[in-house]
Structure 1
């Protein structure tokens, strides 16, 4: 019972309610105040954007007369929470879209951020924070990280309120699992029925659970909070993750292996080379071409360590790995053994090789 209680996970950590999601925002604008590291005059998009912006202030300047290297055209991205009210602040990311060398020291001019429906939901403006730099002079270049990418902490202001609509038109809430699993979905439905009463929830498929919403929508927030706080023991698919490049192996402790017999051995070949100098004992007068040479003597050694042979009954990957480690089997050899066990059909788990 204690082990089951420790393995229980809140529904809040297993999934989300359908309709509760973040919203992507995007926009394009201009960063000014760059010390000659902005877009070059051949970037027509930047010159047109500058001309359009100045026209908003009754300054009509043809784009072919704009030659400043202190500005850069950028794309702005942000994430709008599932619920937000007018005036809320959000973080924004700024990336260069032209040929600017660096955005360090720049300030983003007020830019509208739009959603997928092309409606403006936020405005972004403010000085950029760059996590790098780029300086060049006389052919010398010093650069750290990516100076053409920056952020503005709380630089976006929400202009249109958004609300998450959790209750579907049929009067039900839909709980969506992060990892689809029919057993876990059924356990969630049973746990909700135990807490809210029989018939309150039904597992629709391996990914979603349908939950009856409260009558007349009263107390929806408290109702959702109560459901999210419930805990179940999620079912897990047995997996063994192998990274042969780093020699890493990760497996669940309860991953089972059928009765097997393992015999493992290898041949080790080593080459030992000793170098010595061949020095002539007497060099006479006029002995042109006589010189010291280096001679290498190589010994080829072949070792065949004792084979490792063992028979296991019904066991787990954890027990097998511990026993092989006691036999001084290397991690890479253990990986090879597990792959062979999987090929033999005795490892009841998915092997994922990275």
Structure 2
């Protein structure tokens, strides 16, 4: 059950490694789906750094924006059987991208108007002590995992399941089950969660005036309606959505390559936000804040503009150079090209580093499945 916060005035503010054959996809091989619903992590990072604009130093909001926000009581749904909170000043945030196949999302991404939703994008954002650096771990939706039993925010209980896709956690029990699954997988306590809807992403980029990126090779993917020659571009919302959704236009055509594009786009977006200059443009400032607050759903701890502003203010010193973005170590499943398997020993290196608030060691991702799209997209100079 979701609940909107009541309006309040805003304030100014700134093991062993699993072998490739140890888990196999169950069922028929499926044709990769054409470029679908993968943009949303970008808008979620925007929600943390742009939504309330505390990270840009603007911090000017209207009380009406508070009523735009939707929040869920994740802590109540999860109960007390969770990893301990970190006591070193660091924070972990689960960023989800969801598509409810209705309204604007149906128009943008296809599907049926049946009210169902999935999370096709998930990132664990670890903000290090001092809040000057962040490590971001993308979790591929096609990873086969053991999903724990969980209770959703409506109180319904869902049994555990073995060898299922990671994104089945959200489609089964919503945000609370996704958080439960990530905590089970990583051993990290999620202090907050942010969820972004599909249709809001496109409008947010348009409100920002586009995002500048440079492509080192041409990207053409009819499925995501994207046709970019090599060179420098200012992407509007539709093009940005196409870029972070494209799967067949670059790399090996896998979901992992798409994650690499998304990570590059996030860095370009964070770089640009520093110089947007919204403070001198009240209408643009309001349009961005209005769209962003309508786009996100948060845990109840971030369920007001002031709370979200305070949270975003803690991220204002993290620029592109302070973002270490990796994909959770996986290997391709030889039984099904559309699935990946957790590389347990290397994944444990990642999670252990974050538990100890250390940088992720480079060798934790060496030799793992990557996607082949690294370096294709960069922030424009």
TM-score by length of 1: 0.16
Computing the radius of gyration from Cα coordinates, the structure with the larger value is: 1
Q: Which has the higher helix share?
A: 2
TM-score by length of 2: 0.16
Which gives a bigger RCO, structure 1 or 2 (Cα 8 Å, sep 6+)?
2
Q: Which has the higher strand share?
A: 1
